[in-house]
Amino acid sequence: MVRKQVYIEPRHERLLKTRAKQLGVTEAELIRRSLEQTLTAPGIVRHDPEAWESFMQSVRRRMRLRVSPAPRTWTRDDLYDRPRATR
């Protein structure tokens, strides 16, 4: 084992002590478990502001599209009766 010294907030210390007592483990063991879980978890998806803005622009464009007020002339069953398009 390697010794590490870290600073934590007072509220973190209270939570750490409480949870370690609940689980019946040492604070160090709880920290090791937390590190293991965090460091071996799948990669974190980063928020991409440009991608989000691009998505929102497409949503706004779609919202501006006019929808024909005429009722549709087909039924759901008609869709199943149509021949499939070849690719």
In a domain, 21, yes or no: yes
Residue 39 contacts residue 31 (beta carbons within 8 Å): no
Q: Is 72 a member of any domain?
A: no
Mean pLDDT of 66-82: 82
Domain hosting 18: range is 10-40
- Please report whether residue 18 resides in a domain: yes
Give a yes or no: residue 35 inside a domain: yes
Greater confidence (87 vs 34) lies with: 34
pTM attached to this predicted model: 0.49
**H or E segment at 59?**
helix 49-64
Does residue 62 form part of some domain? no
Number of domains in the chain: 1
List Cβ neighbours of 33 (8 Å cut-off, separation of 6 or more).
25
Q: What is the mean pLDDT of residues 38-62?
A: 89
pLDDT in tens, 16-46: 999 999 999 999 999 999 999 988 888 777 7
Q: Is residue 68 part of a domain?
A: no
Whether residue 33 is contained in a domain is answered as: yes
